[in-house]
Structure 1
Amino acid sequence: MKTSDPITLVVATDNFYAILLSALVKSIELNHKSGEKIHVHVIDDGISSKNIKLISETVSKDMFTFFWHKTNTVVPKDVKFPDDISALPITVYMRLFAPYLIPKETKKMLYLDVDMIVLKDISELWNVDLGDKLFAAVQDRCATMLSKWGGVANYKELGLQADDAYFNSGLLLLDPIRWRAMDVPNKVIKVISENTKYAKWPDQYGLNVVLVNQWVMLDPRWNAFADNKYEDPFLVHYLNIKPIFKSYKSQPEYYDLFHQYLKQTPYKNFRVLSNRHLMLRKVITRISKKIGALKRKK
């Protein structure tokens, strides 16, 4: 891949968490020293025109180009999402379709969850050699398919091994051409639909089942979970309560890091939200998913 080729990044968010995207791209900009342009494809699940403008103004137009894709244009109309048991928003499934919205000739793409900040030059991650593997990721906290709280509880029935490595799907550096050729989204959705009661983290469950042993294991510092302490993390992932809430309970230094970047964006005057906002967010997510499930059954 030529050094002049842009870094292709895909993210997905709704309007509520759009502020996280601003901090993410600002952190990428301030730590990116190697000169590649960055193309950011945003899967937009109802982001307001105001937030689109603010996010676009967060970073240099010389370095960043944004492409906005409405959710209903990303997912094929014949795709039916599983009625999963999680309280996660529907945007978690968008990573499955990310390789379909970028230019067809793109040979590599990076998907990041929006609740992250990058502390190292993103080009170092971008230049990881995939070899003959489909993608690169970081091993999840539960580490293997056999886990009391995560992993794949029914791994035996699915023909998997207890010690097969289990990855976190928040960061995926992948080959989009092979991803499309393998029809990954439909395979993952089928697995989730057939094993709903085991899919606590639905998209991650399905991806780990379908793509077992097809990935390069990255340095864990490329997906440092905010509730743990790391020496020199490269990327911090706010897996649990996000640092925009007063009820944030992860490592305090990562809370401070997030707000250091946020203060350098158009959201610099943002006030941390009360726990009421967090609870309301969860209720709205569950209701919207139930409504969606009822519509799909009609």
Structure 2
Amino acid sequence: MTTTEPINIVVASNNFYAILLGALVKSIELTHKTAEKIDLYIIDDGISKESRENIRASASEEVIRMKWFKSASVIPDNLVKVPSDKSAMPMTTYLRIFAPYILPEGTKRYIYLDVDMILQEDISKLWNSDLGDNMVGAVQDISKTVSNSWAGIPNYKELGMPPETKYFNAGLLVVDQEKWLKEDMTNQVIQCLYDNGPYVNLADQYGLNVVLYQKWKELDPRWNTFANDVIEVPDPFLIHFLDIKPIYRAYNGNKRFGDEFYKCLKLTPWKNHKPIPEYVRISRKTFSKMKKIFFSYLK
């Protein structure tokens, strides 16, 4: 990558988590010190006009150029539809596998980020990661291996994967766009979810780990530091709020990381945000789960 090429970043958000995207955008701006422009491709899964304006105001357009895409428009007609799962994870999470279809023709690489993250290091260093011959760069998940009993790949043996096979977190991906499209990976992930329905764990993260087996490069773990990890990381490059988000009163992650989140948020139009009560969080998770179950019966 050269300093004349923009850094391509893709994110996806619904309206409720737009506030998280505001903090992420601000953190990217604050930590970016090199000359590259940043092109931020936002897959909009129902973000309100007000929230869009707040996100736009969260960073200077001189640093971050935002490009918006409605979620319904990012899925090509020739792709198989994503199967519904019965988890409480919003369907928005699946949108990351459609990222290649919104990028300009000729794009060689992009970074995908979950919105529940903030940067502590210049994104250009991640952008310039050496992937070797691999299709994707990622960080090993908190669950460590495919044989993990509460995450991982429940049917790893049937798929021919050794139990010690490392399992990555899909919240941060550095993707070789050309390889991805050449091997039609989006369709491969979706088909994998259909083929292994009873075993699917953590939505598309399951499919990504299966189809990218032996095709991903392990990155420095500091590029995806989990806020709820019991091991203290003194110098994270990126903080990932995997569990209860810091916008809630019930936030249960590292306090220092939560403070870092609010340092960023206070520099956005959401500067007066007050943590949300626990009953709101629970009701939203329940609604998300019931909505997916309902639509699964309609298919």
Residue 193 of structure 1, CA deviation = 1.6
Q: Determine the structure 2 residue equivalent to 1:80.
A: 81
TM-score normalized by structure 2? Answer: 0.96
Task: Measure, in 1, the Cα distance between the counterparts of 2:287 and 2:56.
Answer: 27
Matched, 1:278 2:276: no
Does the 8 Å contact 1:225/1:238 carry over to 2?
Answer: yes
What secondary structure, in the 3-state scheme, does the structure 2 residue paired with 1:142 have? strand
1:66 corresponding residue in structure 2: 66
State the match for 1:139 in structure 2: 140
1:39 and 2:42 are equivalent in the alignment: no
Deviations 1:196-216 (A, max 9, x none): 222121211111111111111
Q: 8 Å contact 1:40–1:65 — kept in the other structure? A: yes
Long gaps (5+) in structure 1: none
Offset, 1:83: 2.6
Instruction: Give me the whole-angstrom Cα distance separating, in 1, the residues matched to 2:26 and 2:80.
Output: 34
**Stretches of structure 2 lacking an aligned partner (at least 5 in a row):** none
- How far apart are residue 170 of structure 1 and its match? 0.3
- SS across alignment from 2:25: helix
Report what 1:249 is aligned to.
Answer: 252
Aligned amino acid, residue 244 of structure 2: I
Q: Deviations over 1:230-267 (max 9, x none)?
A: 12000000000000000111111111110111001111
Deviation per CA, 1:72-122: give whole Å up to 9, x if none.
Answer: 001134532213131111111111110111101111100000000000011
The equivalent residue for 1:17 is 17
- The answer for the alignment partner of 1:291 in structure 2 is 294
How far is the alpha carbon of 1:180 from its aligned partner?
1.2
In 2, are the aligned partners of 1:83 and 1:193 still within 8 Å (CA)? Answer: no
Deviations 1:132-151 (A, max 9, x none): 11010001112111111111
Aligned length, in residue pairs: 296
Separation in structure 2 between the aligned mates of residue 165 and residue 110 of structure 1, nearest angstrom: 21
Distance of 2:76 and 2:86 partners within structure 1: 23
Give the structure 2 partner of residue 106 of structure 1: 107
Q: Tell me if the contact between 2:152 and 2:201 (Cα under 8 Å) persists in the aligned partners.
A: no
Looking at structure 1, the residues matched to 144 and 44 of structure 2 have their Cα atoms a distance apart, in angstroms, of: 31
Q: Pick from 251, 261, 264 the counterpart of residue 261 of structure 1.
A: 264
CA distance in structure 2 between the aligned counterparts of 1:246 and 1:283, rounded to whole angstroms: 18
The alignment partner of 2:206 has SS state of: helix
CA–CA separation in structure 1 for the residues paired with 2:80 and 2:245: 30
Looking at structure 2, the residues matched to 107 and 76 of structure 1 have their Cα atoms a distance apart, in angstroms, of 20
Shift of 1:156: 1.0
- Give the Å deviation of 1:53: 0.7
**2:91 matches 1:90:** yes
Aligned-pair Cα RMSD in Å: 1.1
Distance 2:108 2:188 in 1: 22
Higher mean C-alpha deviation, range 42-51 or range 190-199: 190-199
* Structure 1 consecutive aligned stretches of length 4 or more whose deviation exceeds 3 Å: none
**1:116/1:236 contact within 8 Å kept:** yes
Cα distance in 2 between the residues matched to 1:271 and 1:188? 38
TM-score by length of 1: 0.97
Aligned to 2:181: 180
Contact 2:169 2:205 in 1 (8 A): yes
Match for 1:263: what amino acid? K
CA distance in 1, matches of 2:105, 2:243: 34
1:85/1:200 contact within 8 Å kept: no
User: Which AA in structure 1 matches 2:132?
Assistant: G
| Distance in 2 separating the partners of 1:239 and 1:271 | 20
C-alpha distance in structure 1 between counterparts of 2:86 and 2:201, whole Å? 6
Identity level (%)? 48
Give the Cα–Cα distance (whole angstroms) in 2 for the partners of residues 76 and 161 of structure 1.
Answer: 35
Opposite residue 93 of structure 2, the aligned amino acid is: V
- The DSSP-based 3-state class of the residue aligned with 1:212 is coil
CA distance in 2, matches of 1:171, 1:289: 24
